[in-house]
Structure 1
Amino acid sequence: MDIKFCVFVAASVDGYIARFNGKLDWIESVTKKDDIQDYGYHRFMDSIDCVVMGRHTFEKAVSFARWPYRGKRVIVLSRTLKEPPADFVERVDVFGGPIELLAVELQHWRVKKVFVEGGSVIQSFLSAELLDELIITKVPILIGQGIPLFGHLKNDVPLKLTGSQEFSNGFIQLTYSIPRR
């Protein structure tokens, strides 16, 4: 498959991507008000063609003051959401089928690089052996509980470290490739 499926995510040192209620306040608690680093996020976003996310991530994204995916095709995976809210009809497609079928559709649409976002969606793509790259920014905090980046996996997933970067505020970004089996 010619499509590259990638994750770009922040996680606490103990492996959580959000609190159970979806809040990300723990990230803000360790960043200074004048810290405007984007940790390569804008460069990453410039490199992708499409975003695939779950319904919960979509609901969080629509609550932001500014839609973070302008100019990108966004696909929301959901079996319960049949269509996006009226003000997002032009910006979002809803897909309720298997992700393997979505991967085939994306290939027909000539998509080259996909941003996979949201805990359960990341886990689904891992289980389907479709992920190619993980970019994980470790935030120097332990939050003890929340939504885990990785849940139960059927099999071990070997990773190859392809890059690492340390930031002055203690954040560490790790980039891994996932060899296709």
Structure 2
Amino acid sequence: MKVSVYIATSLDGFIARKDGALDWLPGIESPESPEGEDYGYHEFMDSIDVLIMGRNTFETVLSFEGDWPYGAKRMFILSSQPITIPNELTDSVESSSSSPGELIEQLAKRGFQHVYVDGGKTIQSFLRAGLIDELIITRIPILIGSGIPLFGEADADIQLKHLETHTFSNGLVQSRYQII
């Protein structure tokens, strides 16, 4: 099983403001985006068969206007507290209080092949558990000064191998790393 992260950060390494706001993050279809450019997002989403997301991230996505952005893709929400899943999502979304290792083991037994992990605390816990294989990080050319960092404290160094970097005409820089 492959476990990947696909996420955007400010140039100073934050995934959201302290209050969780994403107002600094340009939308895929913003005027600054090259026409038709999705930064590899749809190709990445087509490659995964299950998502693992933290409760805070799930609740943030639920607050977005418009249709559910993940379609019928299977999703597990990690939370140590009970979580309310809207009725229209119960066929594809379920909650889990398992540890990262337990959840990956359960998903492997169910035949899932490629996992997308999203949410700051969730990504950090999977990194600490040594379960992330690949990081795809898109840096947005903005400094927001403070917020929720992508990476927290680590118990040990995490070695990365740079695989590729793409630059976009609007200043976004996307790098892909393998955890070694």
In the superposition, the TM-score normalised over structure 2's length comes to 0.93
- Counterpart AA for 1:114: V
Hey, what's the Cα distance between the residues in 2 that align with 1:59 and 1:79? 14
Alpha-carbon distance, 1:21 to partner? 1.7
Residue in 2 aligned with 1:70?
Answer: 71
Q: CA-to-partner distance for each residue in 1:47-91, whole Å, 9 max, x for gaps?
A: 000000000010011122221111210000001025523332222
Which has the higher mean CA deviation after the structures are superposed, 98-107 or 117-126?
98-107
Residue in 2 aligned with 1:176?
Answer: 177
Alpha-carbon distance, 1:23 to partner? 1.4
Residue in 1 aligned with 2:90?
Answer: 89
RMSD (CA atoms): 1.6
Residue in 2 aligned with 1:127?
Answer: 128
Hey, what's the Cα distance between the residues in 1 that align with 2:149 and 2:165? 21
Which has the higher mean CA deviation after the structures are superposed, 87-96 or 100-109?
87-96
Q: In 1, are the aligned partners of 2:124 and 2:152 still within 8 Å (CA)? A: yes
Residue in 2 aligned with 1:15?
Answer: 13
- Counterpart AA for 1:88: L
- Counterpart AA for 1:171: L
Describe the SS at the equivalent of 2:25: helix
Q: CA-to-partner distance for each residue in 1:19-42, whole Å, 9 max, x for gaps?
A: 11221111239x852625210000
Q: In 1, are the aligned partners of 2:133 and 2:178 still within 8 Å (CA)? A: yes
Hey, what's the Cα distance between the residues in 2 that align with 1:141 and 1:73? 33
Describe the SS at the equivalent of 1:60: helix
Please give the residue correspondences for 1:1-181 in structure 2 after superposition, counting only pairs within 5 Å. 3-28=1-26, 32-33=30-31, 35=33, 36=35, 37-64=37-64, 65-179=66-180
Uncovered stretches (5+) of structure 1, i.e. residues with no partner:
none
Identity across matched positions, percent: 46
Q: In 2, are the aligned partners of 1:123 and 1:150 still within 8 Å (CA)? A: yes
Q: In 2, are the aligned partners of 1:5 and 1:113 still within 8 Å (CA)? A: yes
In the superposition, the TM-score normalised over structure 1's length comes to 0.92
Q: In 2, are the aligned partners of 1:51 and 1:117 still within 8 Å (CA)? A: yes
Hey, what's the Cα distance between the residues in 1 that align with 2:86 and 2:30? 35
Which has the higher mean CA deviation after the structures are superposed, 92-101 or 121-130?
92-101
Q: Give the aligned length.
A: 176
Describe the SS at the equivalent of 1:124: helix
Q: In 2, are the aligned partners of 1:83 and 1:89 still within 8 Å (CA)? A: no
